[in-house]
Amino acid sequence: MEAVFEVAPQQNGQGNARETKEFKASDAAGIFYYDTEEVIKKNKVKDDNLIFKVKKALNNYNFKIKEIALLNSEKLNNLDVVMSSLKDVQRNNLQNNSSDKSQEMRSNIGKILRPIKEGVQINEKDLNQFLEEILSEKQNKKWIKY
C-alpha cells in the first residue's frame, strides 16, 4: 500500500498545481537499482574488459541493494501501510493535526529508515570508489552526474 500526498489546487494561475505523490518507504530509504546497459551507454564505455568490470560492479551493487531491501521488506511495507493510513485519516479530517505528534512520527520513521539508508549509502560509496579506479576521468565525471 502506498500513501498519497496531495498539493493544493491551482487558483487563478497562481499557487501549486494539484499533484499526487506516493510515499514509498523504499524510495525514502534510497533503494534503487542501476540498469547496467544504460550506464555503459551513458558513460561511453567501449573497452570489453572495462565493460565486464563495470557490469560486474553494478550487478554486485544491485545484488547487495536487493539483499538490503529483502532483509528490510517488512519494515518498509509497514511504513508504507502506516503512511497510507495516516494520509487517509488526514484526508477525512479525523485527526487533529498536532505538530508534536507529526514531529514524533517523523522522528520514528527516521529511526527506522536511517540504518537502511546508511547501508545503501555504504554500498553506493563502495561502487563509486571502485568505478573511480577503473574509469577514465571523463567517464567518472559522467558516472557521478548519472
Nearest to 66 by CA among 22, 107, 58, 9: 58
CA 33 – CA 63 distance, rounded (Å): 9
Written as tens digits, the pLDDT of the chain (146 aa) is 344 434 444 444 444 444 557 788 999 999 999 999 999 999 999 999 999 999 999 999 999 999 999 999 999 999 988 888 777 766 665 555 556 677 787 888 889 999 999 999 999 999 999 999 999 999 999 999 98
CA 69 – CA 113 distance, rounded (Å): 11
